[in-house]
Amino acid sequence: MAELSTLARPYARAAFEHASSVKQLAEWSTQLATAAAVAQSDNMVKVLTSPSLTSEQQAEKFIAVCGDELAAKAQNFIKVLADNKRLALLPVISALYEEFKANREKTVEVEIATAFELDAAIQDKLAKALSGKLERDVNLHTVINSDLIGGVVVRAADVVIDGSIRGRLNKLAEAMNS
């Protein structure tokens, strides 16, 4: 995966810098997400791996499938990717673009796994606490995980906070064994 992100990073950075300069971060986010979804479809994978098609033909077919979802600049971006044989990297490019965008906007997507449904007041309290700790605006998503006995597991980018009972018991067992 590291190799794919290494290849995709310059393209994601270029798209981000362009979108930022013309103040179209949200529009480019949507267009890249659409292009990433198209690139992952089974039929498009066949087109992208077909040795009988030129890069130009692949780009034309890709743009045709996307239809009006891609603006002219995004279509040019697709053509550049096709010329460099990088259309298959679109899902990674889109993910990296979203990371750049979140960093610029000082936001973070946070997933909270719980054993039971959290009410809105608790979610707001968690979001405020995490916002202060992470120094970013928090977009909170909750997931019910029936494997948890109690407590919560928080995932925010590279940060994982295991506040579950199982996690606490594992820490206790490690402390007793050392």
83 shares its domain with 156: no
Q: Give the whole-angstrom CA distance, residue 144 versus residue 158.
A: 21
pLDDT by residue (tens digit) across 124-144? 998 888 888 888 888 888 999
Q: Which helix (H) or strand (E) holds 107?
A: strand 107-114
Task: Look up the domain containing 155 and give its range.
Answer: 107-177
- Residues 38-63, buried b or exposed e (16+ Cβ, 10 A)? bbeeeebeebbeeeebebeebbbbbb
Q: How many CB atoms lie within 10 A of CB 75?
A: 17
46 shares its domain with 97: yes
Q: Is the pLDDT of residue 2 over 60?
A: no
Burial class for 144, CB neighbours closer than 10 Å (0-12, 13-18, 19+): exposed
pLDDT by residue (tens digit) across 24-41? 999 999 999 999 999 999
87 shares its domain with 122: no
Task: Kindly report the CATH number assigned to the domain that includes residue 46.
Answer: 1.10.520.20
Q: Give the whole-angstrom CA distance, residue 114 versus residue 53.
A: 49
Q: Give the whole-angstrom CA distance, residue 27 versus residue 16.
A: 11
pTM of the predicted protein model: 0.69
86 shares its domain with 146: no
87 shares its domain with 118: no
User: Looking at 87, 102, 117, which one is the last position of a domain?
Assistant: 102
Q: Is the pLDDT of residue 97 over 90?
A: yes
What's the mean pLDDT in 86-102?
A: 92
pLDDT for position 89? 93
User: Looking at 64, 80, 102, which one is the last position of a domain?
Assistant: 102
User: Looking at 102, 135, 153, which one is the last position of a domain?
Assistant: 102
Burial class for 27, CB neighbours closer than 10 Å (0-12, 13-18, 19+): middle
Please give the torsion angle defined by the CA atoms of residues 140, 11, 4 and 38, in that order, rounded to the nearest 10 degrees: 70
Indicate the average pLDDT of the chain: 89
> What share of the chain in percent tops pLDDT 90?
43
pLDDT by residue (tens digit) across 98-133? 989 988 888 888 898 998 888 889 889 988 888 888
Q: Is the pLDDT of residue 1 over 70?
A: no
Of 31 and 178, which is predicted with more confidence?
Answer: 31
